[in-house]
Amino acid sequence: MCALVAITAVGVAGAAGGETPVTVKVGELELTANGGFSPTTLSKTKQTPIELKASGEVKLADGGHPPAAREVIIEGDKNAEVHVKGIPTCKSGQLQATTTTAAMAACKSALIGEGTTTAQVAFAESKPISVPSKLLLFNGGEKGGKITWYVHAYFSNPISGAIVSTVTITKHPNGRFGTLTVTKIPQITGGAGSITAFNLKIKKSVNGINPISAKCADGKLKVHVAAKFEDGTKAETEIVRACTGK
């Protein structure tokens, strides 16, 4: 999906809590990301389970059809962690070409988050059409130190099909950062579609397992987000949010 720029500002963007949106402008492109987590009071030394909420919007300043995001790269704060061991898994093949209902029937036990999203489709010489969808986040498991998640959306006409994005999360020691989340976003209707908005909530607990946790070692959590778009545009920013340590 596109505006996964905040998601995942999904994946580990969960490390960035707060309620003030951050807007990045590159030429005519405007990307707005927001996120929050609860509780915001965390242990200074021990990982605390959190529920993450993330949202995003992509638009052009002139109101035109925005380019589609194809890849989102997130460096997550070293004080946040992602856990999937013990959570049931789902395979990409179980989600391809499936409706929302069918995806849930196949992989409900692996569901770790849900929300909504909107895609805008603009065919040549036609007015752009916005199409909403339910957004589902499934655990794909962990192998060789790499965690995989799948983001599923099913759109009606003129898209008429499922879009499944793959999210990979690996350890990434790099100063303030400790994890690297990469989201690969497939083309929508041959490149005519772009995700223009989304909101997502990642559960605090799934089968007794906590997908995302964090500690507040120094009063803040930080992520670096970079999004690459179909037309070659690249937007990036760092988000710093306050937390309360105890």
**pLDDT, position 19:** 64
Nearest to 130 by CA among 69, 68, 197: 197
What's residue 13's pLDDT? 38
pLDDT for position 159: 86
Look at residue 157 and give its three-state secondary structure.
Answer: coil
Q: Rounded to whole angstroms, how far apart are CA atoms 216 and 94?
A: 38
Q: How far apart are the first and last CA of the chain?
A: 37
Give the closest residue to 169 by CA, choosing from 73, 245, 71, 42. 73
Q: How far apart are CA 158 and CA 121, in angstroms?
A: 8
pLDDT tens for the chain, residues 1 to 246: 433 433 343 333 343 444 678 899 999 999 988 877 889 999 999 999 999 888 889 999 999 999 999 999 999 999 999 999 999 999 999 999 999 999 999 999 999 999 999 999 999 888 999 999 999 999 999 999 999 999 999 998 888 899 999 999 999 999 999 999 999 999 999 889 999 999 999 999 998 999 999 999 999 999 898 999 999 999 988 888 889 999
- H or E element that contains 168: strand 161-174
Q: What is the dihedral of CA 53, 143, 86, 92, to 10 degrees?
A: 60
The overall pTM is greater than 0.85 = yes
Rg (CA), the chain: 17
Task: Give the H or E element holding residue 237.
Answer: strand 234-242
Work out the burial of residue 182: count CB atoms within 10 Å of its CB; fewer than 13 is exposed, 13-18 middle, 19 or more buried: middle
Among residues 101, 70, 81, 47, the alpha carbon closest in space to that of 234 is found at 70
For residues 136 and 113, give the distance between their C-alpha atoms in angstroms, rounded to a whole number.
Answer: 6
**What's the rounded Cα separation, in Å, for the pair 142 and 73?**
19
Backbone phi, psi, residue 4, to 5° = -60, 5
